[in-house]
Amino acid sequence: MSRPWPVNALMIKDPLGWMVFSLILLSTWLVFFVAPTEATMGDVQRIVYLHVAVAWGGLAGASVMGCCGVAFLIHKKLAWDYWSQAAGEVGWLCATLTLVSGSAWAHEAWGTWWTWEPRLTASLVLWFIFAGIFLLRSAIDDPVRRARVGGVLALVGMSDIPLVIMATRWFRGVHPVSPAMEPRMRWVLLVTVICYTALFAYLVMRRRRQLEGMELASQLEASAWATCPVPHH
Amino acid sequence: MDTLHVTYAVAWSAMACFALKLAMANARLSRRLARLEAQARETPPTTEPLTQAA
């Protein structure tokens, strides 16, 4: 029997993990020491680099979750559901951090932690969609049924993505649309988004592999139970 | 500590917790799979049909 899973699966021994960690260190150095200080808001404007990166991660996570959910509904292969679940979990983490970092920025820029502004509201709705999907998934034991329900809900949840992206253009709100940035700021923002995307992709890959391993363990346990010798009395 | 540093600290802590939880679950899963593989090697396949055993 080939070993599909390494015995020492701690990420500390994973060179890819260290590479991703180095990218995050690089982006931190760029954000705090290379990006110029913004004239109006001062240092606190640096929250934007993190905020944009996690917001992108949340939207990408929701998109991947929806697309993989649809792929499961078409092909009926659980492998697609593992991708969907993994991307959704990381996307949910990003959606949470988007709300937290956005709130902190709003407090400094607008003087309030929260306002029912179109993009903020659409982002909160996306967070609740993620939460609802995972709550429902956790209540279903059968993996195929769970994947089917998750796929349908992820597809429905995807409808909020264009709303989040276009909210600043379609509706009148206070959220900045695409503020003019100094070239050095734009470069730092771009590199930060790339670095954080690498981290999120890495986490999704690790989580997907873990879900696959959990399914394998369940199958092994089931087969071990089926072939277990029966004691004779 | 100002808003900027608190925000980054919260975000990194959340990401680190996610990664740590993942790593710990991976380690547990690896042990579980290794144990199951060892059991599968040690246990001889049964010759009795399952229906008879039941």
Distance CA(A99)–CA(A127), nearest Å, equals 9
- Between CA B50 and CA A227 the distance in angstroms is 8
* Gap between the Cα atoms of A161 and A67, Å rounded: 12
Residues spanned by the domain of A59 = 50-172+183-213
In a domain, A71, yes or no: yes
Q: Would you call B2 and A96 a contact, using CB atoms and an 8 Å cutoff?
A: no
Which of these, A213, A226, A90, lies nearest to B30 by C-alpha position? A213
ipTM at complex level: 0.85
pLDDT in tens, B25-50: 988 998 988 888 888 777 765 555 55
CA A165 to chain CA centroid, nearest Å: 16
Question: pLDDT over 70 for what percent of chain A?
Answer: 91
- Reduced to 3 states, what is the DSSP secondary structure of residue A181? coil
Residue A224 has pLDDT above 50, yes or no: yes
Is A190 part of a structural domain of the chain?
Answer: yes
3-class state of residue A143 by DSSP: helix
> What are residue A30's phi and psi, to 5 degrees?
-65, -45
Count up the domains in chain A and report the number. Answer: 1
Cα–Cα distance for residue pair A57/B45, rounded to 1 Å? 48
Q: Which residues 150-209 on chain A approach chain B with CB closer than 8 angstroms?
A: 199, 203, 206-207
Inter-residue contact A226 to A154 (CB < 8 Å):
no
Contacting residues of B for A1, CB less than 8 Å apart: 37, 40
Look at residue A74 and tell me if it is in a domain: yes
Q: Is the pLDDT of residue A84 over 80?
A: yes
Q: Which two tokens stand for residue B40?
A: 């599968």
pLDDT tens digit string along A49-62?
999 999 999 999 99
Provide the terminal-to-terminal Cα distance of chain A, rounded to the nearest Å. Answer: 33
A232 DSSP assignment: P
On whether residue A222 sits in a domain, the answer given is no
Measured between beta carbons, the chain B residues lying within 8 angstroms of A224 are 36, 39-40, 43
DSSP per residue over A65-123, as a string? HHHHHHHHHHH--HHHHHHHHHHHHHHHHHHHHHHHHHHHHHHHHTS-S----HHHHHH
Q: Which residue has the higher pLDDT, B11 or B40?
A: B11
Whether B37 has its CB under 8 Å from any CB of chain A: the answer is yes
Mutation test of the interface with chain B: which of A1, A2, A5, choosing the one with the most B Cβ atoms within 10 A?
Answer: A5
The shortest CB-CB distance from A54 to any of B3, B11, B50 is to: B11
User: Which residue does chain A place closest to B52, by CA atoms?
Assistant: A230
Least confident of A8-12, A73-77, B28-32: A8-12
Choice among A74-88, A128-142, A216-230, B1-15 with the minimum mean pLDDT:
A216-230
Mean pLDDT along residues A211-231:
76
- What string of H, E and C letters represents the secondary structure of chain B? CCHHHHHHHHHHHHHHHHHHHHHHHHHHHHHHHHHHHHHHHHCCCCCCCHHHHC
Q: How many CB atoms lie within 10 A of CB B42?
A: 7
> Which residues in chain B have Cβ-Cβ distances shorter than 8 Å to A214?
29
- As a whole number of angstroms, the distance between CA A95 and CA A125 comes to 10
Compute the nearest-CA separation of B7 from chain A (Å): 6
> Closest Cα partner for A59 from A200, A153, A186, A199?
A200
Q: What 3-state class would DSSP assign to A40?
A: coil
Whether A13 is covered by a domain: the verdict is no
pLDDT band at B54 (very low <50, low <70, confident <90, very high): very low
Asked whether the predicted pLDDT for residue A9 surpasses 60, the reply is no
Note whether residue A16 is domain-resident.
no
Say if A34 falls within a structural domain: no
A132 within domain boundaries: yes
Which residues from chain A sit within 8 angstroms of residue B53, using beta carbons?
230
Average pLDDT, chain A: 88
DSSP single-letter state for residue A4: -
